[in-house]
Amino acid sequence: MPTCPKCGAETEKDDEFCRFCGTRLVAETRPLEKEGSAQEREVCFGEGERHRDYSGLVSFGILLLIVGIIFLANPNVVSDFRLWIERLTTEKTLSRPPQGLIDSAALFFGLIGLSDFFLAGVRFIADKRMRRVLVDILSGVALVLFSYLIYLYGRHTLTWQMALATEAVACGLLIILYSVLRYLFPKKL
């Protein structure tokens, strides 16, 4: 199979551009150099070898686990959602979701937030890339807070407007915190 002359990615013989780096392909492509080659090859978008990041695959596995947990906790989540949507369309007014749907949403966002903390730890151990770890931690904080606000809404402690306003303020503060940390520690983040 032909390869890109710039990055060495496999290409199709009819490709005009490399699908990996965007380099315009010439009529002839050269074979991929072996790792033991004395000649160094140019790597697109930065120096060094391509690094495989499996965190997306881990994230997808965690998402499937969370969806399974939600369905185990509330087997009627789909019918609750369908009935709530039908009620919204027939009454043509915003109404409170069923309690089971509220509890499922709180559990879902809480577990997603906790999975962000887990992924932050995995990324720190595997890569030591602090910027991505910081993003995971801050998004985990936002999601766990959102889960708690949904819980409070479900217990009639907060209105939905107050829950959303509180989450918007918290997300704004977390974004400001992230920006300040990136400004103060540009080399580490």
98 in the same domain as 71: yes
167 in the same domain as 148: yes
Q: What is the pLDDT of residues 82-127, one digit of tens each?
A: 999 999 999 988 889 999 999 999 999 999 999 999 999 988 888 7
CA–CA dist 45, 176 (Å, integer): 29
Does 189 reside within a domain?
A: no
119 in the same domain as 175: yes
How many structural domains are present in the chain?
2
46 in the same domain as 2: yes
CA–CA dist 135, 150 (Å, integer): 22
**First CA to last CA across the chain, in angstroms?**
39
Does 179 reside within a domain?
A: yes
73 in the same domain as 39: no
59 in the same domain as 46: no
109 in the same domain as 60: yes
CA–CA dist 186, 174 (Å, integer): 17
101 in the same domain as 46: no
- H/E stretch holding 132: helix 130-154
Tokens 């039908």 label which residue?
A: 86
Q: Specify the pTM.
A: 0.69
Q: What is the pLDDT of residues 120-169, one digit of tens each?
A: 998 888 877 787 889 999 999 999 999 999 999 999 999 999 999 999 99
Does 156 reside within a domain?
A: yes
41 in the same domain as 9: yes
113 in the same domain as 27: no
Q: 40-46: list long-range contacts, CB under 8 Å, 24+ apart.
A: 41/7, 41/8, 42/6, 42/7, 43/7, 44/6, 44/7, 44/20, 45/21
Does 25 reside within a domain?
A: yes
Range of 79's domain?
Answer: 55-184
158 in the same domain as 65: yes
165 in the same domain as 73: yes
Residue 100 in tokens? 């089971």
